Amino acid sequence: MFPNSLHNFNYLRYAKADELRNEERNIPKVSIKNLCVTLDKRTFFEKYLSKISCTSNFLHDISFTLEGGNTLAILYTKESEMRVLLEVMSNTMSHKYSISGVLENNGHKISIDKFGDRVAYVNTDNIYPWLTVAQTIRLRSLFVASNANTFKNVNAIEQLIQTLALSPIRNFLCSELSMVERQRLKIAVQILKDTDILLSDNILKDMDLYDMAFVIDYLRDWAIKLNRIVVMAMQPPTIEILTMFHKVLLIASGRVIYFGSSSQMISYFEEIGYPCPSFKNPCDYYVDLVTHDYLTSQSSFESRKRIRRLAEIWKEKAVNDEYETQVITDELSPTVHQINYCRSALLIYRRFFEIFLSRPWMYAKEAIYAFLISLFVGFLFFEIPNDRYAAINARFGFIISILAIFLLPILFIHIERVFDERLYLFDDIRNRLYDPTFYIVVKIICDLPMAVLCNTLYALPAYILSGLPPDGTFYWPSLLLFTVILCTHAILWRYITWIVAYSCCTRLSAIVIIVTLLSNAIMLSGFLIHPNSFPAMIKLLYYYNPTKLAGGLLAENEFLRRTALTNWVSIYTLSQCSRIRGSQALYFSGLSSATFASSDEQLNEAIHIYTIWFLTVFTTLLFVVRCNHNKS
């Protein structure tokens, strides 16, 4: 920085890139040659039903070369074109593009996948809000493993925190940071990858000049001292900010309009007959010059013609200026590796624990809600009598309430938690820290003890307060069987809720779907509609309905293993009709089939069906998370 003393203004001027000493370096070197990117907009069926092509050309014949110590500013007219270029270079493409061209690193032609493994990309996504700045940086430093291993030293990480002015806010939650502080933190997280190439989306948007200049100066200093390459997209800045970069790439309609020194951009356009008017910002002027004007058909035609002409002029100049240079082939730039599975699992557990310390209510409220709901259900069905016909319906009502109706609030908590976890899961997968299916396996193992605890708190108070556990020797076996059945059923619906939450884009849509699924499970359980009333096709769904299976087992536990109901119980209190036993009441309800020789046979059948359900749900969960949370 240099003080501007010409007019005694009280501000600091950052040095231009040309004013800094920059040694000539051959490596690392990045070359993009004739890069073309198109996207077929047709759907899967349209590709086979129609031969008419519908493609969008994002990039056409993009070529540029950067060397160690270079910083590049990308000026653009369409955000989509800029983002596609960065996504291709970082291998985080959001669509299946058709790509042609050559990507070189240190003289080696490499694929997009290998190129992306050597790149750090600062995107515009928000950082996870419920970790502190220090926790975010330390966890990311442990998740990444680079060949260079620069940040394996604690002092190096502390120096990174200090140089990016993050020390005063190191113990702040990321949700408490300002926009500028979050952007600096995102830069620090990507620098931890220790790659030779750092790409950045337009994170400077909405920053004031001082914050913008600080970030650019830091990245420029980092690139020069450590021999790195920085590529940063930005909206048209002031000419003073632009000249802080070594090079500028101006793209319009997917074509290169200018690539070269930032200090020579104005003279280049003057040479080809497009001087910048006085008192206008050159960056704004030249970006407007190559922006497609859609206001009228005439202006659209003129702007398209002007853009094509400027692109052709640059292409001719680039061909004329091209000369043979000695091809220097050196080792490829270091890659970012995934750490081993055991270490990844431990770090995921560590993050769960640190999030719990930051937001204990997020995880504790499930247990508290489960206990309170259980007390409410217990008082609602308090001391169900044994000597009236209404007690039979009360028992059925208790079973369906505890299995489905009052299970919904707990499932809503899981929807909220999954959407919260997706905030960092998307970013982790995009940065290739671990495989999404591996994360789900680790999450299930970590979540299972909490699931058993919460569902036990959900089952026991309600069952005890209802007065259903039998006296004597059957008390504890009945209590244990009720808890096991309810826990198994609730955990199955827990994972079904995860599938829905990981599949949906909004919480509301996930809630609607899970309410619909559970409502259908209740309707097909046999508690509200007698099974004999179901059509033939519906009976198959009824047979494999997990809510029906759990409800049938709980009903058998209540009606067949309870001495009080083995006595004669009246059906109608005002008549002298025949009386019915508990086993007959269960059979008349349709929940117990006469084809089973014993309740143990029905229990084994339920275990087999539940095993199929768990395997299906687990496989579907892995598939959904892998498809919906890929690196794109």
For the segment 580-618, what is each residue's pLDDT rounded down to a tens digit?
A: 555 555 555 555 544 344 556 777 888 899 999 999 999
Domain boundary residue, one of 288, 303, 328:
328
Q: Are residues 407 and 543 in the same domain?
A: yes
Same domain, 395 and 365: yes
Angle at 44 between CA 42 and CA 48, to 5 degrees: 85
pTM of the model: 0.85
CB 67 within 8 A of CB 26: yes
Closest CA to 370 of 405, 399, 409: 409
More confident residue, 20 or 132: 132
Domain ends where: 283, 306, 328? 328
The long-range contacts involving 10-19, CB below 8 angstroms and separated by at least 24 positions, are 13/240, 14/213, 14/216, 14/217, 14/240, 14/244, 15/244, 16/243, 16/244, 16/262, 16/263, 17/71, 17/220, 17/243, 17/244, 17/245, 17/246, 17/262, 17/263, 18/243, 18/261, 18/263
CA 362 to chain centre: 19
The total number of structural domains that make up the chain: 2
Closest CA to 32 of 89, 93, 81, 96: 89
Phi, then psi, of 56 in degrees rounded to 5: -115, 130
254 three-class SS: coil
**Lowest mean pLDDT, pick from 84-93, 381-390, 550-559:** 381-390
**What is the model's pLDDT at position 632?**
52
Is 293 contained in some domain?
yes
Residue 343 token pair: 């270490």
58: CB partners within 8 A, 6+ apart: 37, 38, 39, 80, 81, 84, 97, 254
Q: Model confidence over 222-251: pLDDT tens digits? A: 999 999 999 999 999 999 999 999 999 999
Six token digits for residue 140: 């990311």
147 within some domain: no
Pick the last residue of a domain from 328, 352, 371.
328
Q: Quick one: 295 and 414 in the same domain?
A: no
Tell me the residue range of the domain where 89 lies: 2-118+196-328
**Any domain includes 158:** no
- Say which range, 122-126, 145-149, 348-352, 366-370, has the weakest mean pLDDT: 145-149
- 457: in domain: yes
Strand partners, 75: 250
Asked whether residue 188 is assigned to any structural domain, the reply reads no
The enclosing domain of 106 has a CATH number of 3.40.50.300
Residues 365 and 478 in one domain: yes
Q: Are 87 and 229 within one domain?
A: yes
The pLDDT of residue 574 is above 60: no
What pLDDT is attached to residue 594? 40
| Predicted local confidence at residue 339, as pLDDT | 87
- Number of neighbouring beta carbons within 10 Å of residue 480: 10
Q: Are residues 322 and 406 in the same domain?
A: no
pLDDT grade for 179, boundaries at 50, 70 and 90:
very high
* C-alpha gyration radius of the chain: 33
Other CB atoms within a 10 A radius of the CB of residue 166 amount to 21
Taking residues 44-56, what's their average pLDDT? 63
Q: Which two tokens stand for residue 496?
A: 């079904």
Give the three-class secondary structure for 339.
coil
Distance from first CA to last CA of the chain, Å, rounded? 39
Considering the chain, what percentage of its residues have pLDDT values greater than 70?
A: 84
| CA distances in angstroms from 563 to 270, 296, 484, 582, listed in the order given | 100, 87, 21, 9
Return the pLDDT at 586: 56
- pLDDT band for position 300 (cuts 50, 70, 90): confident
**3-class secondary structure, 384:** coil
Query: Does one domain contain both 321 and 213?
Result: yes
